[in-house]
Structure 1
């Protein structure tokens, strides 16, 4: 799991992410690695950055490799805008994703074509999913999703921008990028509770309780009365905000009863309108070796 962030500001774009990745082992549950790379510069001496969450890789192909291939493509044929960069990333990724995960995608299609599992049905409908198949479908849908945020600027236009690229296994075609200003992905619940006083889980629980008589939009309007109005004027403020949000999420999970799905070194990068990609905090290659060392 991940806590990833992007903040687009007048002076540039700030990216941030934790470093924990989770691997599920049958019989023993999840195993966590705390030095994964989720934030990348696109090429070298670049004005582009990308952060990812969700599926950690496409079988034996890493996102590091695919991002390098994107850079090769951009060097051969420069893009005219950030949107075009995001679109080309989506096309490249979609081709690899659908080829490498063809068996899993076909399995999802087979299960989705069946009727839903109904525990009250006796006997169950002829084409209904079993309880095990229902869980399998939910797991495949969740575990095969991956998201990216790619941002920066493309010369000669120095306007900072960022776009989100979501890849779903049941999508009919390559993803269409959507613009981003400030957003959180992966495990955003804790920072949303801190900033807004609520998250979607609380909203859904209230709506499903039968005790709220208004519409969902009216409920959101009431809940938002407790929200903090976040204001950032400089890139340094943005860096502080991104770091604090990720750090707060990691600590909230650490001291909760939940699995610590976020953690490890926090990485931060900035692309200012007058400079190229720069690391603010970046773990060294020996970070896993020196973990816990006192220097």
Structure 2
């Protein structure tokens, strides 16, 4: 073999060796890529193999609480359900002792338990701004369940402009839950939706006596001028109805962020009540039968396996 031939052979061998080296490096690179890609190779990467922290368990809802406190307004106080212009807490849907109403406390605790381990700290005329103080009073009893019904007075102002702004309503409810959590961190909360005030107008406006009583100033934003069906009056009622719907949205949203809070899913708002459920003195507050129906809704939702 000549010198030139030996040089060509050496160059050829060098090229082959270089090609083999490149191929080996490429194969190694692909293998490395395959190993690092769990999706391609079917193997978890070092990152995905690392165990993720377990989420904190959601507290289980206690369907049989052994004590109860109620916060809210005149509905929870049983106002105008027994006598005119008077509270009647014994028929309250939440804590009443009247067996005909069969309140939530009676259903959950029995007569003896309701008498000893239920507290009604609601106040007639209260609106959402009163809730934080009421919650602090409720928390002092260390109840296992707190019921909330608020919002009707926030919508039932003298004029539409004086209704509680939605942002203020939210701030008050959030502050109320914070006060409860400070004093009774493990208490469960059952939140009732605000009743349908427009249905109230629709149901009661046909009663001559009831509509005259409304003119004394009961929920003027919705019930004032009950027989007025002008465009302006309808727009006013629609505005109030939208505000009530917004309040219920706040109650649902804020409650949904608390593991120990259960909203009624709009059950009270959706209830198709009739005149039979209204007070005979003001055609606005629930009478005994109305209180009983609210108690039934509450008991069903508190004892349900799942939230509404």
Higher relative contact order (CA 8 A, sep 6+): 1
TM-score normalised to structure 1 length:
0.27
TM-score normalised to structure 2 length:
0.26
Structure with greater proportional strand content: 1
Structure with greater proportional helix content: 2
Larger radius of gyration: 2
